[in-house]
A and B are shown apart, each in its own frame.
Chain A
């Protein structure tokens, strides 16, 4: 059953897409609707049980058949096919079995990158400059022209923290070299060589799960329990009311409160704060938004207090209708570092000037310093996005989808706090409780849609960039059906 709004969404999209390559051209074998026979199916259950003998499978939803997954549809080993709006925790950018990426994966350049993995810091490959400059750097955020490559979101953030700590220490040290005391104390993990310096993050922020990044993660207890952490400061992140345009003055007051607290921390916190890390939209924490004004204030304050500003675009990157979500803020001064991973497939951070470069060598360093096979994939992803104008198209799809969801939330008041307007398909809404949210997600899976949750009670949408009006329509129909089942 189509809702009026989803029909409208399709019509609009049909117009913008006339004469343009669509998902149907790229993925001729993409299913047009989900198929669910038995779920969870017997094969999935049985094979997961045998995998569990050697590999922890307690977080597995089902056993996936990637060979049968096409475009926006993910298949399991029992032949079920789900419309996937979760996309490997927001990390598949251009659908499954993307033929152009497959072609790239078969190219001699990729084979070379896979079998001859270089230690990029010491023996860089002859094509690495071209891969970076024509790929990742062609999509660099405004004001940034340099890059450091890593392997995941967590280590991208941690390498940015390292850059921040080293940069701040160098700023204070000036032209002087390390003191004898620094050189000896650091080997004992003691000050001054291992300084008491900190990274400030925001409540409900998520920045990864290694020890430095986990110390800045403030999402849920289960992410952090039993792991020693650095005693680093946390500032409140605005808790806004949605739709944003209906609560402008309340929300501004809340943001002002948070900015005031942040100022207080900068003024009074007893330890050095080397950097602030912030997500443009707090994703794991529940899709919490803040206005451009808030982020502009953070930028102004960090400049004022000589604190670096790291924007964590691991989940928002490529997802909000622009390459980088912080481009929506119109900052006067760019952030100091922008980290990425997930949909980019490669990980690392962008920066400008000297921030990512220490005076002495072998400080930001490790064996591989990234992975050229992933940087090459990122280049292919960015090219495809540009070739088909996929960011602008996702913005249109997202706008229509937002309208349709808004309409649903009128009919189902249990669907509340719809958010992500003008952020393409980076949308989320709340259900009354975590339990109901979890039930909703399970029922959606049974009805053929694989969606994800975040925060305490949010449903988040993280489709790829070949997600179009027709897919939105399928998803909306399933959502309506499940909501009816739950609430009518």
Chain B
């Protein structure tokens, strides 16, 4: 056992910390509270921030150098994510492109596709969204029906995607589409579609937070060049699954960093409003304890990555832990803050340090997206515990 960061990783962290100190001019939480900020201005701010990160050499960290990456490992990537949180930097705008499509193109795309799509993805000049879920296919993703029919050099795409994050303002979407109705997994292909294509319509959907960060995307005889197919016809499922697996870093570390800060803010707020009784302290302490345990999970994951281990079902444990914990945390926070915890960010009486009401609402999404808690438990039952399957 050795939980020290190596010299190399320490150096990486310290350089990054210094860089962030210089370059994060205003913490993200303050940007959000700026009364002059609008949805559009915040997007532009995040675009500018991503360009800065790119110029600083901090994007695509674990991608090969020839594709604008740094040839680093999942360890640096995990450190990077935790440090961004620590510095309260704006969230990366092209998150879905960088975390999912980039690796898909690097590992399964053609040379032309990489040359065409990776540079604007890194520079945030083309924003991507992920078109996997459909009205009839969420947890059971492989039952998706959006169809792509090959006609000469083009696919003709028909169907509907839904819950598409960033859909309302993205430029491109990567779609899982059915190219063979009879082959459940082998009949799915991975296709890149420009949202401006005739026949493609995006409609924003209002979320429980009141924001419209996701939307639905309709395809009606949308014509897409065959050259936008990633991999071969029928390889879409395989590509999607391997790409989702690359995503697995030590995310728990970044989350515990964030929750530590929010917990300190919560404790401070409780003191300020005079809630210091033993019932309050016990609730706070339980959150502190769970967060420390989550940090330990994160440290363990990071150490395993550094040790060359590829995470398997641990990724499901990590997702299950942080998402379920966050729900409890945000719920308890509002409970401890009293009715004031329900105030909207726009209200001048709201607490300045954290947007508690939005965090509470947002936490409800976390156990649904990226594999719901129930799906994660199914994965653990099957892969980690080898329990007999039904029927």
A, B from the same assembly: no
Residues of A near any B CB (own CB < 8 A): none
B residues near A, CB below 8 A? none
